[in-house]
Structure 1
């Protein structure tokens, strides 16, 4: 597969875009926009895969109820996605950049005609120096927010799928954890640091465990990395704030 070396997919998670109580982190949106502008000025085409719609929608609606209800989650997504796009558009506009929204689901990738149309849309937007903001279409679908065996897994997997689809040369997955541990350090004080992973096997996946914040976690990040790397895509996981200092 011939890759576009100047094309990069950046996955931004819920923990990057929100405060602990799910309120939008405007400072983070501003810094992300500034960083994307600097990367674009260096000649890179950028695609952002963004989470956070459920959490931001829940906060905007001031809903404190437990949202283990599919329809309620979908309502949060519908509201939160509007807010997320408004903020990306607002802060990117300050740097003279236009944002575009792309919501997709598994069928859009699996169906050949839809996939080809999707690729053409991405290519057209990127040629116009527009930054696509991508999310799974959860307001009408349910696989990411409800199913245990999700189609994309979550937005970590979606970011790898998009990177493969668009033949990106690089995939960057932001995380709130700086290194790999044998279990979630947010939950376990005795979590042990694993300094080097040479192969993503069953033992590594078991150590990765499940989700922490948002819907993902280290497990889905490893799955995403495995998919992207198998297609020759240079994949990096970075702790959130380091994206502001990334060297291109």
Structure 2
């Protein structure tokens, strides 16, 4: 079980399956719940960072496209439209609770290049020190190689782990469309059992993780294992749980067992 006494800085990642309905339109009710929970935790003293996917899915819908775009140019166009829409919604909702948000769009080059990485870390620290909530996404409208390769960092799962490391976060929470990692695919096997904690990632676990996720997203459990490895190597616990109920954040900070916790043995656990 996670020891929340040591946790103050939390990165929360939400994917397209959490932010949108199956038809691609924004799930306003769920976004409202998510924003309210993050603001409430911010008021409780936690430093919160939100990594948000969904720009391409939201943009495609706003552009009236019948399906998720397949060509690079259309994906980037949809990302440009969708990112504007997402930030408009986030800015409006967070301001209702008196919280100022900041948009941060990153690419792989920003993470790899030393001086850029240092500047990003300094920006995160400054924003959090001022009580703001940074909202991070990949700059899909210009990051050609990332969009071509599984829509960037793997539906932002890898990006969220990178951000957690950059921020020196105490915890990464990844919201997905499942309750966590199961010992087999629960959509095919009703007897599948939730794995409550993972301390080591091996070949057997990778086989269990399977492939892609939902139609509106690109990241399945396999990309989440990659993110978990990045976090575990840095000593950062990562928790995967269902984003259908953003109120799960309260359960998490209260130290209750929920979803699947990835961490090295002894790292922030009780």
- The answer to whether the superposition gives a TM-score over 0.5 is yes
The equivalent position to 1:129 in structure 2, one of 124, 128, 131, is 131
Question: Which sits farther off after the overlay, 62-71 or 153-162?
Answer: 62-71
Residue 229 (structure 1) aligned with residue 232 (structure 2): yes
Alignment partner, residue 43 of structure 2: 41
For the residue of structure 1 that corresponds to 2:171, the secondary structure is strand
Q: Distance in 1 between matches of 2:98 and 2:224?
A: 32
Q: Report which stretch shifted further, 139-148 or 222-231.
A: 139-148
5+ residue gaps, structure 2: 1-5, 254-270
**Aligned-partner SS, 2:22:** coil
Q: Which TM-score applies when normalising by structure 2?
A: 0.84
- How has the CA–CA distance of structure 1 residues 66 and 25 changed in structure 2, closer, same or farther, with 3 Å as cutoff? closer
Task: Tell me by how many angstroms 1:115 deviates.
Answer: 0.6
From the superposition, tell whether residues 61 and 231 of structure 1 become closer, same or farther in structure 2 (CA, over 3 Å). same
SS in 2 for 1:171: strand
Report the CA distance shift for 1:57/1:8 in structure 2 as closer, same or farther (over 3 A).
Answer: same
Partner Cα distance (1:195, 1:41) in 2: 32
State the match for 2:268 in structure 1: none
TM-score normalised over the length of structure 1 = 0.91
SS of the residue aligned with 1:243?
coil
Which residue number in structure 1 is paired with residue 163 of structure 2? 162
The 5-angstrom pairing of residues 43-62 of structure 1 reads 43-62=45-64
Question: Given the alignment of the two structures, is residue 216 of structure 1 paired with residue 224 of structure 2, yes or no?
Answer: no
Structure 1 residue 182, shift from structure 2 partner = 4.8
Gaps of 5+ in 1: none
Q: Distance in 2 between matches of 1:82 and 1:105?
A: 17
Mapped pair 1:17 → 2:16:
no
In structure 1, C-alpha distance between the alignment counterparts of 2:181 and 2:23, rounded to whole Å: 25
RMSD: 2.0
Q: Which residue of 2 aligns with 1:105?
A: 107
Partner of 1:115: 117
Shift of 1:194: 5.2
Cα deviation 1:104-128 (Å, max 9, x = unaligned): 1111111111011111111111111
Aligned length: 243
